[in-house]
Amino acid sequence: MVFWFAGLSIIAVSLVFDSPNLDYRLVMVGAVLPSIESLTGAPWILHTLVAPVVISSLVALGLRGKRLAQRKWIGLPIGLFIHLVLDGTWTQTKLFWWPVFGNVLGEGRTPELSRGVLLVVMELVGVAALWWVWSTNELHIDDNRKRFLTTGRLPRA
């Protein structure tokens, strides 16, 4: 499951934050990254609140005094947070709040794998969301597309 997370994460974050220096490529990577755990069949650390909190802390502390770098790299944990919301992981108390409510890592199926046929619908919605981002940000224009691909920034209105 890639398009659902990539498309909806960039829309949500661009509408909420509207930051000129945020790297939206990193937002999308962060939003898609936990899906890798589906290869194991079970949720692990990236499906818990621990991962985005730790990575946010590392960005804040590791890049202290480097404001532009912080703004760029904060996109990664923001994407991880968005994944937890879009995946509904927050509805699974033991997984979301791990290790507070017990050790459930590696148990059960990842939320992505438990969707059945709804997964196809969600991916189609994600494709539509990416198309909307493409068209509203005029990424068909060479300068806009190159700027996005090299800096991760979307054109400002």
The predicted model gives 136-154 an average pLDDT of 92
Q: With 0.85 as the threshold, say if the pTM is over it.
A: yes
Domain of 56, in residue numbers: 3-151
In a domain, 37, yes or no: yes
Amino acid identity of residue 47, one-letter, is H
pLDDT of residue 44: 87
Non-local CB neighbours of 87 within 8 Å, separated by 6+ positions: 5, 34, 47, 111, 112
Q: How large is the C-alpha radius of gyration of the chain?
A: 16
* pLDDT digits 0-9 by tens, 56-95: 999 999 999 998 888 889 999 999 999 999 998 888 888 8
pLDDT of residue 146: 95
In a domain, 156, yes or no: no
In a domain, 129, yes or no: yes
The domain total for the chain is 1
In a domain, 157, yes or no: no
Cα dihedral 88, 91, 96, 99, rounded to 10, equals -160
